[in-house]
Amino acid sequence: MQMPTGKWWKEAAVYQVYPASFKDSNGDGLGDIGGLISKIDYLHDLGVDVVWLCPMFDSPQHDMGYDISNYEKVYEPYGTVEDIDILVKACHDRGMRFILDLVVNHTSDEHEWFKESRSSRDNPKRDWYFWKPARYDDAGNRIPPTNWRSYFAGSTWTWDETTQEYYLHLYATQQPDLNWNCEAARNAIYDSAMRFWLDRGVDGFRVDTVNKYSKPLEFHDAIITDPNHYEQPAAYMFCNGPRIHEFVKEMHDKVISQYDCMTVGELSLTPDPDHVLRYVSASAKQLDMVFHIDTGNMDHGGPKDKYDHRPFILPELKAAITKWQKFIEGTDGWTTAFLENHDNGRSIDRYASSEPEFREISAKMLAIMMTTMTGTIFIYQGQEIGMINAPKEWPIEEYKDIEALNYYNEARALSISGEDPSRLPIVTRGLQILGRDHGRMPMQWDSTAHSGFTTGDKPWMRVHDLYPEINVAKQVPDEKSVLSFWKRMLRLRKEYRDLLVYGIFDLLDPGNEKTFVYTKTGERRAALVALNFDQGVQDFEVSTDKEWKLVLSNYDAPVAGKLAPFEGRVYMSAN
């Protein structure tokens, strides 16, 4: 087997930072760039190679900075462009790289481009966004140009009084979609959102909603799958639209190819590996890799019912992981592995157990899984210390996310009107497990007030009640902590990169509903990984085809023939 050609981003462990919640340096209760700079050594010690910072651009913060009003400015409470320069240097000085979020499917409605666009029908920037006339129903009522439901509930269209037309927004009203068909808009995006930062030394981008830039220009109604409502799930209509590959390719050729940088796209609704390859094959030159959302959405309900939680089924999770692990075999594409990000609940709660007796062992088992995956791995802040979801008792008032609140309010309205009283309990329960807020709670640094996240009186979001138990300061000196385990695993991953980063993945016993067992095969050696996803003890025998030697377990005294609750093991052998 030939080792794939070495690109720095292939072997990288990427660490995602959510600026509002990582570390507050000035006591205003909100995380900031200064706070992140003060923790760069912490990330370096952990074994992180690339820091990915979620949007820190100027923004009215309707969607936590994914609504950008100026790409070339930093949101003031977070800091300044010069602070980013310092941060980039701090990473580079330690041999680490630094990437930003690239959010160019939409801007904020407070972006100058949109303000101009909405000012009159003949403004030169009118067609930088999507404007459409109203339709009228049989009774003469004004209705939007299509029946599409937005990601954050409600319509994808908002009526604009000034110019008497609707504008399109796949997300919140305050996030109008840019019209990528307009060449001047594309060039402005390349300059303002990309070159501006790449020229300052930024090493690449996580590309937000990368397959939604090209909309089908006919703007047909979506098929009615929810007869009780006007708005219909329509993502299938605006993902992977007619010109999408042309746009992503142009972005690569005109901008990305001019720098030594990496791109990772957020790719939804693209289950077909052949199609994914069109984005990430090295020869296609569009993106370096993408997040395969089907693993991350495993326990979500359907397109409209995201928060109808359906507990994941292990064979399904294994199949999804296997699909993207094997994706690179025989192709020139690359893959990723992640379990958490800012759009999901914590992995311990979703895939293992956050009960006190299982919390740490679960975190370590999932760490074994992540660090033995082929591809580039992504760790989300707090995952390395085993942070868990907010307690179920927390009332809705503690939730801040626009998506959570819109879903909640929609369900509440259906309950109050008597239309569908079943929705509220379903959505409430879903939010307790899957809500985006769980990943957005302040980082738990130590056991002082507000978990050491802020020295001020009030963090912007409530700190987890368990922070005195789960925090960095407690785990750093403890060799048996989740944090120490992650460090050890990240070192192991580097040492055995031929196997763990590049090895051929093979799933064993696919139908087993309790254990996830796989091999990784390299040129000289092989690894066998066995993970117990259950609270009960499982029988387990290693295969006799090789002389497997146990390299590690998340238990002190692993027992032959058994896997303890949430135990994870790595064996190795010569090939």
Transcribe 146-186 into DSSP letters: S-BBPTTSSBSEEEETTTTEEEE-SS-TT-PBB-TT-HHHH
Min dist. Cβ of residue 31 to Ca ion (A): 6
- What the block records as the tokens of 50 is 């690339």
Q: 386 or 442: whose CB is closer to Ca ion? A: 442
Of 26, 38, 455, 512, the one binding Ca ion (CB under 5 A) is 26
Torsion from C-alpha of 396, 400, 406, 407, nearest 10 degrees: -50
Of 349 and 437, nearer to ligand GLC (C-beta) is: 437
% helix, strand, coil for the chain, step of 5: 30, 20, 50
Tokens standing for residue 377: 């791995």
* Closest chain position to ligand GLC (CB): 66
Binding-site partner at residue 24 among ligand GLC, Ca ion, none, CB < 5 to 8 Å by type: Ca ion
Nearer to ligand GLC, 343 or 567 (CB): 343
Q: Which residue number, 268 or 374, has a Cβ lying nearer to ligand GLC?
A: 268
CA distance 110 to 112: 6
- Which option in Ca ion, ligand GLC, none does residue 22 bind, with CB closer than 5 to 8 A by kind? none
Q: Using CB under 5 A, which of the segments 16-24, 140-148, 193-201, 488-496 binds Ca ion?
A: 16-24
Give whichever of 61 and 209 is closer to ligand GLC, judged by the CB atom: 209
Residue 534 binds which entry of Ca ion, ligand GLC, none, with Cβ cut-offs from 5 to 8 Å by kind? none
Of the pair 307, 540, the CB lying nearest ligand GLC is at 307
Listed in order, strand segments (DSSP E) in 196-308 are: 204-207, 262-267, 289-292
DSSP 544: S
Does position 109 bind Ca ion by CB under 5 A? no
Q: Are 561 and 540 in contact (CB under 8 A)?
A: yes
**110 tagged catalytic:** no
455 binds Ca ion (CB under 5 A): no
Q: Are 373 and 337 in contact (CB under 8 A)?
A: yes
Q: Which residues, including other chains, have CB under 8 Å from residue 499's CB and lie 6 or more apart?
A: 520, 521, 522, 525, 526, 527, 572
Binder of residue 343, out of ligand GLC, Ca ion, none (CB less than 5 to 8 A by kind): ligand GLC
Query: How many C-alpha atoms does 36 have within 13 Å on its Cβ side?
Result: 30
User: Given the rule CB under 5 A, which of 8-16, 17-25, 206-214, 352-360 is the region that contacts Ca ion?
Assistant: 17-25
Binding site for ligand GLC (CB under 6 A): 63, 66, 103, 171, 208-209, 266, 342-343
Residues 450, 442: contact at Cβ < 8 Å?
A: yes
Residue 266 known to be catalytic? yes
Q: Give the residue, chosen from 7, 11, 28, 551, that forms a contact with Ca ion under the rule CB under 5 A.
A: 28
Binding site partner of 165, from ligand GLC, Ca ion, none, Cβ cut-off 5-8 A by kind = none
User: Which residues are catalytically annotated?
Assistant: 208, 266
Q: Which residues bind Ca ion (CB under 5 A)?
A: 24, 26, 28, 30, 32
